[in-house]
């Protein structure tokens, strides 16, 4: 039997990068994957690719930064697909390496709405069903920027640190309820997350000052394999942990 046979797995930001790789990997292991992202065309493309391989997927447009939209989408998932067994909070945006003094308030709120609030909203809507059934797995995608101070700007760094704290809190609070919650902290990965950035000069200069120690970028599929382990029964006693997947970058 495949590792995730007949499990319902929701993946936010699931149409590109790490999210897409996770969606594909989970589907190949038997999960019914629900792909959530901002654009209908990209969501449909991933769903069609999964189905073309003989696996199961369902897609929905969703901006996780809006609590009401998340609530409505989750209600639709419960009705159309079933109870959620695995919740992967992957959706995230960067912040142009803005140091605190230069952060625009609109940007600050936008980054936190997606990277932190969106993660919380999805956990908040998913947990009641998991508690009722006394089983479920949540996986949050943080970053080495959630463990260190110099991998991005102030907003992204604050949000990803907070995701780590949220992960540990959920893990401890519900450890006796059959629910596990872990996080992955990727280093540099070949994704499109920085395609539309306009880096702040000071912030970028300071952040890249340590880039000489960075190993080659990971492929999204390498992060997806770490995700597969953490949501599977192979990691049944792993709870409240942050798995750093950075090729040894932070070991320097």
Instruction: Give domain status of residue 251, yes or no.
Output: no
Instruction: Give domain status of residue 59, yes or no.
Output: yes
Instruction: Give domain status of residue 50, yes or no.
Output: yes
Helices (H), 139-179: 154-173
Instruction: Give domain status of residue 2, yes or no.
Output: no
What percentage of the chain has pLDDT greater than the value 90?
85
pLDDT at 191 over 80: yes
Instruction: Give domain status of residue 252, yes or no.
Output: no
Instruction: Give domain status of residue 118, yes or no.
Output: yes
Average pLDDT along the chain = 94
**Which of 59-63, 149-153, 157-161, 171-175 is the least confident region?**
149-153
Which CATH number goes with the domain that contains 14?
3.40.50.720
Our measurement of the distance from residue 145's CA atom to the centroid of its chain's CA atoms, rounded to an integer in Å, reads 14
**Which of 56-60, 179-183, 236-240, 246-250 is the least confident region?**
246-250
Confidence class for position 26, pLDDT limits 50, 70, 90: very high
Question: Pick the residue with more confidence: 139 or 195?
Answer: 139
Structure-token pair, residue 150: 């110099």
Instruction: Give the structural domain span for 119.
Output: 8-245
State pLDDT tens for residues 44-67: 999 999 999 999 999 999 999 999
Per the structure, the count of domains in the chain is 1
Contacts of 84 (CB under 8 A, 6+ apart): 8, 9, 10, 34, 74, 77, 78, 126, 129, 130, 136
Structure-token pair, residue 12: 């936010």
Confidence class for position 87, pLDDT limits 50, 70, 90: very high
Instruction: Give domain status of residue 112, yes or no.
Output: yes
d(CA 151, CA 172): 28
Q: Got the DSSP string for 210-235? A: GGGG--PPBPHHHHHHHHHHHHSGGG
Residues catalogued as catalytic: 156
pLDDT at 203 over 70: no
pTM, rounded to two decimals: 0.94
């Amino acid at each position: 039997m495949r590792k995730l046979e007949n499990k319902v797995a929701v993946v936010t930001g699931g149409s590109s990068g790490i999210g897409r790789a996770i969606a594909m990997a989970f589907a190949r292991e038997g999960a019914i994957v629900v792909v959530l992202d901002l654009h209908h065309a990209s969501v449909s493309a991933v769903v069609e690719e999964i189905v073309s391989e003989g696996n199961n997927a369902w897609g929905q447009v969703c901006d996780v930064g809006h609590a009401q939209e998340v609530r409505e989408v989750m209600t639709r998932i419960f009705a159309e697909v079933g109870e959620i067994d695995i919740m992967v909070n992957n959706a995230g945006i960067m912040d142009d390496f803005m140091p605190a003094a230069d952060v625009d308030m609109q940007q600050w709120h936008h980054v936190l709405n997606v990277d932190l609030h969106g993660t919380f909203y999805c956990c908040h809507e998913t947990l009641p069903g998991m508690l009722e059934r006394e089983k479920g797995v949540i996986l949050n995608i943080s970053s080495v920027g959630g463990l260190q101070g110099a991998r991005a700007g102030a907003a992204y760094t604050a949000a990803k640190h907070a995701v780590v704290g949220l992960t540990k809190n959920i893990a401890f609070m519900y450890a006796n309820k059959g629910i596990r919650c872990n996080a992955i902290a990727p280093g540099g990965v070949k994704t499109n997350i920085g395609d539309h950035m306009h880096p702040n000069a000071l912030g970028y200069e300071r952040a890249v000052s340590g880039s000489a120690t960075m190993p080659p970028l990971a492929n999204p599929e390498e992060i997806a394999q770490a995700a597969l382990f953490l949501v599977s029964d192979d990691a049944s006693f792993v709870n409240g942990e942050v798995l750093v997947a950075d090729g040894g970058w932070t070991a320097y």
